[in-house]
């Protein structure tokens, strides 16, 4: 009877070794999921750390979408949020570039930190183009039937979105060109971009290069000695051409409808 009672007591048949083995088994079962979560969390923190400007702007965009008044239409809310995010990105980027030193080592370090990556730049460029077209189509279609005050507000929002998107595209490309220039990839002893004057370029030089492509689809007086950068500049020029041409065509059509 005593043996039976002893066996019935909870945990009396468990030895410390078995309990430890079961605990190890539970840890093994949970470990893969925990590792995946930790890896995802570390990746997210790394992306925020290496792209603080982009992450901050995205957070402002998301907050604007959440907290804008519900009385606004969906397209208007989206465009106001987009303008808030891209506007902050431009302010932060231009402030950093105007304060940056021309020292080569500092520029090399800063360009690696500030670059948003080719894939990110291209993806956001397409998003900027789509946002601008949406601004014109969704905000200005039917604007002729609005009151004078409503027409002014819709036209102002569309114009601001186009301006922010256009500047955002070429600023992001300028930062990426700076990263490529200072990336030390050894283009047979020559820099991938050759600026006239022989002095180390600063961020405004890269802005000049990027905005010239954005306005004229050509590289002016800057030579490109890197094959990969020539391809990127080609894609930049194509995006700029279709962006500018489409905006001009749609704007003329809608402006004609207002007359």
What does the pLDDT average to over 160-167? 88
Verify that 235 and 120 share a domain, yes or no: yes
Verify that 104 and 214 share a domain, yes or no: yes
| Residue numbers of the domain that contains 154 | 52-258
Q: What does pLDDT average to over the chain? A: 75
Verify that 110 and 169 share a domain, yes or no: yes
Verify that 112 and 33 share a domain, yes or no: no
Verify that 71 and 140 share a domain, yes or no: yes
Most confidently predicted of 10-24, 191-205, 229-243: 229-243
Task: Render pLDDT for 65-84 as a digit per residue (tens, 0 to 9).
Answer: 888 888 888 778 888 998 99
For residue 68, give every residue at least 6 positions away whose Cβ sits within 8 Å of its Cβ, in sequence order, or none. Answer: 77, 80, 81
What is the domain count for the chain? 2
Verify that 86 and 41 share a domain, yes or no: no
pTM: 0.72
Verify that 112 and 169 share a domain, yes or no: yes
What is the structure's pLDDT at 1?
46
Task: Render pLDDT for 70-120 as a digit per residue (tens, 0 to 9).
Answer: 888 877 888 899 899 999 999 998 988 887 765 555 656 555 555 556 667
Verify that 17 and 98 share a domain, yes or no: no
Verify that 136 and 17 share a domain, yes or no: no
Verify that 73 and 56 share a domain, yes or no: yes
Verify that 201 and 119 share a domain, yes or no: yes
Verify that 110 and 19 share a domain, yes or no: no
């Amino acid at each position: 009877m005593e043996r039976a009672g002893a066996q019935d007591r909870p945990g009396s048949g468990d030895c410390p070794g078995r309990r430890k083995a079961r605990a190890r088994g539970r840890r093994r079962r949970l470990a893969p999921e925990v590792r995946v979560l930790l890896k995802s969390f570390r990746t997210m923190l790394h992306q925020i750390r290496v792209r603080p400007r982009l992450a901050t702007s995205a957070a402002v965009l998301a907050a604007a979408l959440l907290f804008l008044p519900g009385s606004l239409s969906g397209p208007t809310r989206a465009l106001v949020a987009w303008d808030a995010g891209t506007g902050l990105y431009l302010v932060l980027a231009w402030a950093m570039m105007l304060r940056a030193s021309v020292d080569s080592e500092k520029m090399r370090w800063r360009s690696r930190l500030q670059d948003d990556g080719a894939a990110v730049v291209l993806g956001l460029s397409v998003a900027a183009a789509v946002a601008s077209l949406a601004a014109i189509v969704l905000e200005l279609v039917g604007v002729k039937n609005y009151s004078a005050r409503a027409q002014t507000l819709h036209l102002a929002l569309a114009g601001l979105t186009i301006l922010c998107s256009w500047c955002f595209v070429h600023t992001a490309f300028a930062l990426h060109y700076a990263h490529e220039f200072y990336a030390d990839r050894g283009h047979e002893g020559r820099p991938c971009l050759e600026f006239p004057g022989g002095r180390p370029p600063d961020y405004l030089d890269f802005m000049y290069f990027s905005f010239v492509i954005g306005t004229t689809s050509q590289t002016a007086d800057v030579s490109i000695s890197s094959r990969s950068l020539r391809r990127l500049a080609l894609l930049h020029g194509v995006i700029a051409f279709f962006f500018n041409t489409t905006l001009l065509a749609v704007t003329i059509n809608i402006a004609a409808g207002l007359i």
